[in-house]
Chain A
């Protein structure tokens, strides 16, 4: 069985945990995030007829009180950078986090997950900005924790990138 460690990082309240809750196997409660700073889940992905276990390290969202514990990133094969599409500031934070992560574990595949896509009225991120990022080679997937839209695509995309690189 092939296994990969994948971290999820992002600002506080971007909806990381809710986003994957319905799609993963979990034995730990959310209080682990506020205590240890990480909650661990498992997602089995089938890619090209091969099963792959993604061990998801859902890191506590960074806010003014607590920083992301960078030591948790060690050994990650990839990471998900989660932003809240209805809060422009979370994208700025994601840019900073991306740099920090890269400094810590080097260049590994990542996917920028733009969550809360169901709240189109409150959307704060320009399409031009998204296009710019895409042109820079970033993989961006719009998701909704409410409808489940895009979540499987996120796992498929990150798996593909990990196995192809």
Chain B
């Protein structure tokens, strides 16, 4: 047609016009016959000529295609996995900052969640251990832990377990060789290579023994609380060892894992010749199967039980406290009474809230009721029976001697229980000495009487003491109540002599009054001297009282210089002197 057109145009202009007309007519006819515009037809021809698919076309269809396939199943996602992994690898090799910056906002919360989850598990485990540590059940579990050699926490976890996948095996179907194996923490296990082979052998054994269909397989093995679930793929099987009752949803999880492993490692599984290293890539899929679920203990309201237990504890505690306290008190009473001289305990019991105490008691010994009161034990609850006896302990012999002999205060008595000797020391009137020599034999326990150190006193001696004291003077400084330095040491001597006199007088039953007379020299005014003399007498009196002499026996008087007129020596005039009055003794 083109050739015809070229030839025509060079020869005749009219024929060219005719040609143009015929072409347009032809196109019109074509359009009427086929119903397609020429431009569209040309476009179709172009597409047929260009067999290659244009990227522009794919880019239009791809998003929708991806969405559609993703909605249908997971195969497209699984297919993308190796490509995406390679892309990530390349990206990291190229510049790892790009990826790390991109995923940083995800990593931080994910890390936090992982830590929180791990802590949660740890707390749950701790809670379970604590919760069961004091319950009656716990004692049973403790016993079990001891018998099995496992830890208590392990037994608690085991017994509160609903189910737990303890081990997962990935086994090559044809050879029975173990491709990969994972185990939950704290699970005891046998050699997984051998277990894997034996599981395969058991499969074969069942197939051989029971003539099952070729494509059928043993899917469950159950032994007590242990179940083995087996999920089959074209080249490998997944076997999960489960303790407890696992839900059927877990099977789906197993199935998913087998499918994913086959999708990812299809080529390696198909061409397996014994090298297992490559199957470490299956670990994440196997880990998805390691599930566990524990009992969540119901929150029970134990308020009444706790209150009752608290009350019982309080009552028992109080009863225990009072019982122990009373026992301690009773023990202290018995101990104290046993240590008392003149008391010998033969029976002491605390029975049914009553105290029983029997024994022997010297009438001179301490009153047992006094000891009971001291330790706050009510006498109403005490049954006591005391048999009187005479104790030969020295203090009791002495007491009896004092009761019988009534010695004067100047006499002291002692008793040596080894030799049975009663000894009297000190001074006593002749009359008492003679009386004692006759009566000491009546004192129980006394075998001998010894009076070598007893001084015989007579009224003359008492008189002599009096005269000696009345001759004594103590000299003072001029115009002062201070003794002369040379006289200071005389004051204690004076006190001793006064005491001696009083003792001797007492042994005769005589009342004594001692007059301390203060003097001054003749110098100075008389009024002033009288006052000073009284002060000097008072000072000596105070000293004697301070030495234990009864003030009632003393009397002071100040005479000033009235008795010093004839004293030429002024020093000897400043003094005190004593005047002693003894009842019925001149």
Residues of A at the B interface (CB closer than 8 Å) are 1-5, 25-28, 32, 36-38, 40-42, 52-53, 55, 57, 69, 71-72, 74-77
Contacts and interface: CB of A to CB of B under 8 A. Distances in A.
B176 interface: yes
A57 B201 contact: yes
A38 B207 CA distance: 15
Interface stretch (B18-26, B47-55, B192-200, B314-322): B192-200
Nearest to B174: A75
Given A1-B277, A71-B208, A41 B201 contact: no
Nearest to A26: B194
Contacts of A76: 175
Contact of A57 (B172, B190, B197, B274): B197
Contacts of B190: 27
B275 interface: yes
A102 B198 CA distance: 23
B205 A36 contact: yes
B85 interface: no
Given A5-B175, A5-B176, A5-B177, A55 B208 contact: no
- Identify which of B172, B176, B177, B197 gathers the most chain A CB atoms within 10 Å of its CB: B197
B275 A5 contact: no
Given A5-B176, A77-B274, 14 more contacts: A3-B276, A4-B274, A27-B194, A27-B195, A28-B198, A36-B202, A40-B194, A41-B194, A42-B194, A71-B208, A74-B175, A75-B172, A76-B175, A77-B273
Contact of A3 (B174, B177, B191, B198): B177
Given A53-B193, A77-B274, A72 B175 contact: no
B198 A74 contact: no
B193 A71 contact: no
Contacts of A41: 194
B178 interface: yes
B205 A3 contact: no
Nearest to A162: B274
B154 interface: no
Interface of B: 172, 174-178, 190-191, 193-195, 197-198, 201-202, 204-205, 207-208, 273-277
Given A36-B202, A71-B204, A42 B191 contact: yes
13 contacts: A2-B275, A27-B194, A27-B195, A32-B198, A36-B201, A40-B201, A42-B194, A52-B274, A57-B197, A71-B208, A74-B204, A75-B177, A77-B175
Contacts of B198: 28, 32, 36, 40
A76 B275 CA distance: 14
Contacts of A55: 176-177, 193-194, 197
A28 B193 CA distance: 12
A32 B276 CA distance: 27
Nearest to B201: A38
Contacts of B201: 36, 38, 40, 57, 72
Nearest to B207: A71
A72 B201 CA distance: 7
B178 A37 contact: no
Contacts of A1: 275-277
Given A3-B274, A72-B204, A25 B191 contact: yes
Contacts of B172: 75
A25 B192 CA distance: 12
A104 B441 CA distance: 130
Contact of A28 (B174, B176, B194, B207): B194
The 9 A-B pairs with the shortest beta carbon distances in the complex, nearest first, are A75-B175, A75-B174, A71-B204, A40-B197, A5-B175, A3-B177, A27-B190, A3-B274, A2-B274
A73 B198 CA distance: 13
B275 to A, nearest CB: 5
A5 B197 contact: yes
Nearest to B277: A1
B177 A74 contact: no
Contacts of A2: 274-276
